[in-house]
Amino acid sequence: MPIFGTDGVRGLANGTLTADLALTLAQATAVVLGQGRTAEARKAAGKRLTAVVARDPRVSGHFLTAAVAAGLASSGVDVLEAGVIPTPALAFLVADRDADFGVMISASHNPAQDNGIKIFARGGVKLPDVVEERIEAAMAGEKLRPTGASVGRIIRFADAEDRYVVHLLGSIPHPLDGIKVVLDCAPGAASGVSPETFKDAGADVTVIGADPDGWNINDGVGSTHLDQLAEAVVRLGADIGIAHDGDADRCLAVDAEGKVIDGDQIMAILAVSMKERGHLTDDTLVATVMSNLGLHVAMREHGITVRQTAVGDRYVLEDMNAGGYALGGEQSGHVIMSEYATTGDGLLTGLHLVSEMARQKKTAAELASVMKVYPQVLINVRDVDKDALEGDEVVQAAVREVEAELGDTGRVLLRKSGTEPLVRVMVEAADAESVQAYASRLADVVRERLAL
């Protein structure tokens, strides 16, 4: 069974994700990513491979980081240990220090008992499937066993956070000029660096969810739990609330009235601004098939093309890299600004969103009004033969029928789960009553036709 999922290796810490596994994975990573023209040139010049290693504040991150660092150093890799920093900071630092690769210990928005290992190649980019497969195969093969002076060193990366902050501050188009911001850091990897950066950018900052104890990461706060942030913004009379997840590669927001501004709306705001400023390559935005129909309508009205990919920020990034596009992301808040980052960056996204408020002298709600969010219903139809979905003509006929009835006023998407025996039925339409009726109708057909 493959150990890599949609975003690295993830599982119950010390259950499925053990120190032994982390060490072996690190050794295999050294074997695979230590190959190639650049790595061989380093070796020929008498230089060891270098990797940046970081973590979020989960308790299990301590022993997993130690295991990864030990596996790399025992394979002759010099380790720059950056401590607790966001995943996008790790990605940036791999490129900034010209390291051979990087390893992030984090389970992102998962609860504290879980953890994960994300690997970034040279330049701070996520690994393609084929490289993950090679690393997995190498776990059962011969490892690098240098001795004496050839073993790697583990070195504290003392200025890691400072380098990242300077990078972020240099990216924003306009200072934040006293805008009142509530930050929810989930209490995760952004708990130290995000408040510091927003303050340095000129914002008036109040912080919630920023006292990590190793167990409270994502616990009722952060980008997957916005109620506390919304309440704080309204109670304090703030202009906007910004929420990160545990490793801060996501950003969602709430306006002054506590209304959620999701990833689609954030992308719409940034896309229009970037087009106006000449920063949106080919006037194109890359989004997934799950993005709201309202995003497509809004972008069309502003002369912006929306390219669609499969669900997952890695697929968005692949399409962006292939076409050289500047902006892409997901409704969940993974937003990629390729001029400044190689992956989703919640701090970068939040800073640019608030910067737009200051630059345009508009409220968050006014900016978000660029896009109307169409009512969306998602029904998970469980215990069905998901693999028969595309071949069942009755189901496909039902989809075509609903699409014909909706015309240009709605959208239908049926998608099989990658991990469970279920089919996701998603319908968007101009009014809530219609969208629920259409989704229920299609779900009934799927349930009847594909039942196990």
What is the tens place of the pLDDT at every residue in 200-228?
999 999 999 999 999 999 999 999 999 99
**Confidence tier at 47 by pLDDT (50, 70, 90):** confident
**Could you tell me if 57 and 191 are in contact, meaning their C-beta atoms sit under 8 angstroms apart?**
yes
What is the tens place of the pLDDT at every residue in 151-190?
999 999 999 999 999 999 999 999 999 999 999 999 999 9
Q: Lowest-confidence range among 12-21, 34-43, 95-104? A: 34-43
Is the pLDDT at 281 greater than 90? The verdict is yes
Comparing 421 with 369, the larger pLDDT belongs to 369
pLDDT for the residue 46: 72
What is the tens place of the pLDDT at every residue in 8-23?
999 999 999 999 999 9
pLDDT for the residue 37: 67
> Could you tell me whether strands 335-337 and 252-255 are parallel, antiparallel, or unpaired per DSSP bridges?
unpaired
Query: In percent, how much of the chain has pLDDT > 70?
Result: 98
Q: Is 108 annotated as a binding residue?
A: yes
Q: Chain-wide mean pLDDT for the chain?
A: 95
Q: Is 249 annotated as a binding residue?
A: yes
Mean of the pLDDT values across residues 383-408? 93
pLDDT for the residue 382: 94
Is the pLDDT at 39 greater than 80? The verdict is no
Is the pLDDT at 120 greater than 80? The verdict is yes
Q: Is 245 annotated as a binding residue?
A: yes
Mean of the pLDDT values across residues 419-441? 90
What is the tens place of the pLDDT at every residue in 128-159?
889 999 999 999 999 999 999 999 999 999 99
pLDDT for the residue 15: 97
pLDDT for the residue 283: 98
| Catalytic annotation, residues | 108
Q: Is 273 annotated as a binding residue?
A: no
Give the per-residue SS3 of the chain: CCCEECCEEEEEECCCECHHHHHHHHHHHHHHHCCCHHHHHHHHCCCCEEEEEEECCCCCHHHHHHHHHHHHHCCCEEEEEEEECCHHHHHHHHHHCCCCEEEEECCCCCCCCEEEEEEEECCCEECCHHHHHHHHHHCCCCCCCCCHHHCCCEEECCCHHHHHHHHHHCCCCCCCCCCEEEEECCCCCCCCHHHHHHHHCCCEEEEECCCCCCCCCCCCCCCCCCHHHHHHHHHHCCCEEEECCCCCCCCEEEECCCCEECHHHHHHHHHHHHHHCCCCHHHEEEEECCCCHHHHHHHHHCCCEEEEECCCHHHHHHHHHHHCCCEEECCCCCEEECCCCCCCCHHHHHHHHHHHHHHHCCCHHHHHCCCCCCCEEEEEEECECHHHCCCCHHHHHHHHHHHHHHHHHEEEEEEECCCCCEEEEEEEECCHHHHHHHHHHHHHHHHHHHEC
Instruction: For each of the domains in the chain, give its residue range(s) and CATH number, in order of start.
Output: 4-158 (3.40.120.10), 164-368 (3.40.120.10), 376-450 (3.30.310.50)
pLDDT for the residue 44: 67
